[in-house]
Amino acid sequence: MLSDAQGLPLALGVSGANVHDSQALLPLVLGIPAIRSQRGPRRRRPSRIRADKAYHSADRLAWLRSRGIVPRIARPGIESSEHLGRHRWKIERSISWLFGYRRLTVRYERKGSHFLAFLGLAAALTCLAKLTT
């Protein structure tokens, strides 16, 4: 899941059980919709991405930089993930918002497409609730 600075979900994805997290980064970044801005053309990509050590790899960093996205990813063995803690709690909070829906806490669906549909519905309801308050 990718979210904005306030923790509202922008892009969602479902993968298999034994798939590494870094493989989900590229489809999620490509799945971000156009963002309406006050002036100028619509933005098609975020200006920067913050992620934990699981997303650190040379090819992923190069791909993000080629698209004009500044990655802020902790380097394994060099940096601590604690520097990202003040930004990471927003992601953890938005995941807890989604798992507040009982159907998503345990995966009852056999097909990933059905689970993704329920996840999208929960994300839409979460965005509606947070934007109307």
Record the tokens describing residue 22, joined without a space: 């870094």
Residue-wise pLDDT tens digits, 86-119: 666 777 788 788 888 877 877 777 888 888 888 8
Least Cα distance to 108 among 118, 100, 94 occurs for: 118
Confidence of residue 15 (pLDDT cuts 50, 70, 90): confident
Whole-model pTM?
0.70
Mean pLDDT (whole number) for 21-36: 80
**Bridging pattern class, strands 9-11 and 2-3:** antiparallel
Give the per-residue pLDDT at 82: 62
What is the rounded CA–CA span in Å between residue 12 and residue 17?
16
Residue 85: its pLDDT value, please? 62
DSSP state of 35: B
